Amino acid sequence: MAMQLPVIDYEHIKKAKDAPLEEFYTSGHRTCQGCESALVMRDFAKASGPRTIATGATGCMYVANTSYQTTPWIIPWMHTQLGAGGSSAVGMAAGLRALMRKGKIPKEKINVINFSGDLGGADMGLSGVSGALQTDYDLLIILYDNESAANTDIQATGLTTYGAQTTFTPPGSVRRIMQARWKKNVAPMLAVGHPTCRYVATASATFPALDFMNKTRKALNTGGPTFIHTFDPCPKGWDFHPGYSRELGELGIRSGIFPLYEILDGKVKYTYDPHKKGRIPVRDYLVKQGRFAHLIDEDIDYIQGMVDTMWEEWELPGIAPIKSGLEMANA
Amino acid sequence: MIKRVEVQYRGIFQKNLGKYIGGDIVMIASRMGRVAFSNGRYSDAPERNGIPCKYFAFVTHDLSEEELEAECGAKLDIDAADISLVVDDTMSKGVEPWGWHGIRPVNEKVGHKGCLLMVTRREHDDLVRFMAKKDYPYRLARLEGDASLAGLWVDRDDLTRERCLGAIAAVDPDVIGIEAVEEYLREKTGDENRVRAAREAYEATLRKNKVVNAGEGIDWPHEIPVLPKWHEFEEGGVVVPAVPRGFKLGPRGQNRNEGFKHGTSKTERPVVRFDLCIKCTLCWADCPDECFDPTDDELYDVNYEVCTGCHKCAEVCPVKECIVMVDELEFENTDSPWEHHKQDPAGYIQWAEGKKGTKRIRYAHVTGSTGAEISEGTTVPPKA
């Protein structure tokens, strides 16, 4: 069983000025100009502080951050294989617990955070993430989702938006839409299936301000295995000017295509609630990206229709695709 | 005889452009009965937006394909280029494509009497003042134009590709000849505009072509590191020392990765009017490269060594004219602008406004599409 450890009680960051100034993931990483995933790294390291160990599955945030014998990490970081995000977090947490039990290191709270990309975390490594969420270890898994295998120059994954151009899904003269899959709904899938996991959230590094850092802190304060899915506009793969990466994240959330919420002990809270704040047309979000340049009105209408269904017909809007009208057997 | 051509370009933004030019050289040389092949520099992959990258093309008149490939195929980089085509002039401040590479001169590989061919709107001397001196003469040819930046999926078809081919024919006809360029473009595209663009670039480049003498240029200020040998790596895997923890308020107060700076990715840098700042923290909070240093007066200094010029700070700043992006070639150094502002507030405003100039550009969302909004800037008076 888990041993009782002193806790780090993270404060909720109320104002931008209260955010910690010190960096634990610092300059000198070979990421793209305007990379939002790099901000996810920066913000989770900043929010969790120096007593943190990060493990990273293969992906952009591995390769870009270890450019030939150099690193921007100040906290310890370990690379693990593409599908091994979950198991590396379990191994790290188990190792720390064993060392503490044997008295080899002081008994103190050390955060274990794994980050996996959408290919590593949501396609290939999904079983490992699921396994990790069934343990009693304190660990946080962050799925940084730039909607492609961006490191190897943009291949489609299960989380790529419908219709997007990637190197796997180039639009042709006969078939325009090659990415015909709808985005996999990972966070709710994990929330529904893992009672041991008390905290699941979705987030964006820059919108609303401080939201992601506070969700990271909430996950660490909740303890046990926890999960955050971040929405990271990628200037390289989505094909937009790097200066607009914050704007693209905001448009994605305001249009309702990426729902923002947290689930703590089964209670859902929308951190951007389109029911109150309204939704902008998905067109405003799509036309600002070169990966959708080949779409015609019909395609945009289809995507709008799918998003409308998410918010208007689902029992848990934007989260679970269960529609009302429960039928009891033999009723 | 082997002719070696390198295309130095901005990662992703000009990835397709570099690849097309390399491929075109091979096709045109083949039409002339020459043997050629082209390839990208292996270590540049995976490319990132803005990072300096290279594409190569090799042409021979007398060797077989096998001999040419044996000579040029398996090398990471070339030793000496006959033509080094640079499709964005801000790279003349140095190129740092990855860690342990150092910031190297853009003309590093230009061989004796070779040619550095640059797409630029600057004058000869305005470029040489940024470039490292060499101990032999070489030529600097200029092809007038803006850096053609595009995206991975949406190309910018602005004739830069055709014009570069014409310019290459002008600086070294032993690589490709202008008649063959014209024939190739005519047959491939059937578009006389493209043929004409190549011919005009050819003629203009013949004129804008000047020798840089041995010793002209600057003493290169950046140290070139030497990679550890395989037997110098630690046993049991690769262990890279983390950046030591360290933070204090003020310029360069945050410890950073010393082995890789990433600053040569930028084509423009943010100029900050500190007196207009409302201390909202957004530039600092949204910077993906951690290049802002918080100061004791709650401002944010910019570390230009590590700024990659992504435009994000200028985009999120809520104050008009407070952060404006300015062409990187307007600047000589990476000194702290906040220190300048503290020492001489009035002088700093004058300096900043001088750099900003009057033109403000807001780029289109899709990089490759045209439609940048150009407007007149205003000079906001100093805030008391």
Does A152 contact chain B (CB < 8 Å)? Answer: yes
Eight-class DSSP state of B95: B
Q: Which domains does chain B have, with CATH numbers?
A: 2-212 (3.40.920.10), 263-376 (3.30.70.20)
A77, B242 contact by CB (below 8 A) = yes
Per-window interface: B 203-232 vs A, CB < 8 A: 227-228
Q: How far is CA A31 from CA A36, B307, B318, in A?
A: 9, 12, 26
A113, A150 contact by CB (below 8 A) = no
Check residue B238 and give its pLDDT.
65
The verdict on a CB contact (< 8 Å) between B262 and A28 is yes
Does B263 contact chain A (CB < 8 Å)? Answer: no
* Complex ipTM over 0.90: yes
Which of A24, A43, A67 is best to mutate for the B interface (most B CBs within 10 A)?
A67
Fold that domain A16-323 belongs to in CATH:
Rossmann fold (3.40.50)
Residue type, A228: I
A240, A147 contact by CB (below 8 A) = no
* Minimal Cβ distance to B257: which of A72, A246, A290: A72
Q: What is the pLDDT of residues A199-257, one digit of tens each?
A: 999 999 999 999 999 999 999 999 999 999 999 999 999 999 999 999 999 999 999 99
Long-range contact pairs involving A6-12 (C-beta distance under 8 Å, separation at least 24): A6/A107, A6/A108, A6/A109, A7/A109, A7/A221, A7/A223, A8/A49, A8/A51, A8/A109, A8/A111, A8/A220, A9/A221, A10/A47, A10/A48, A10/A217, A10/A218, A10/A220, A10/A221, A11/A217, A12/A214, A12/A217, A12/A218
Chain A residues whose CB is inside 8 A of the B364 CB are 241
CA angle, corner A187, sides to A83 and A305, nearest 5? 115
What torsion do the CA atoms of B31, B36, B41, B45 make, to the nearest 10 degrees? 50
Which of A17, A31, A33, A289 is best to mutate for the B interface (most B CBs within 10 A)?
A33
- For residue B261, name the pLDDT band (cuts at 50, 70, 90): very high
Residue type, A232: D
CA–CA min distance A263, chain B (Å): 26
3-state secondary structure of B259: coil
Q: What is the pLDDT of residues A115-131, one digit of tens each?
A: 999 999 999 999 999 99
The model's pTM is 0.95
3-state secondary structure of A90: helix
Pairing mode of beta strands B110-120, B52-60: unpaired
Domain boundaries, chain A: 16-323
CB count, 10 Å around CB of A6? 9
Residue B236 has pLDDT above 70, yes or no: no
B324, B271 contact by CB (below 8 A) = yes
Chain A residues whose CB is inside 8 A of the B49 CB are 32-34, 235-236, 242
Long-range contact pairs involving A314-318 (C-beta distance under 8 Å, separation at least 24): A316/A188, A316/A268, A317/A259, A317/A275, A318/A256, A318/A259, A318/A261, A318/A270, A318/A274
Q: Cβ contacts of residue B176 below 8 Å, gap of 6+?
A: B25, B28, B29, B32, B59, B165, B168, B169
Residue A7 has pLDDT above 80, yes or no: no
Taking residues B239-257, report their average pLDDT.
Answer: 93
The verdict on a CB contact (< 8 Å) between B48 and A243 is no
Residue A96 has pLDDT above 70, yes or no: yes
CB count, 10 Å around CB of A96? 21
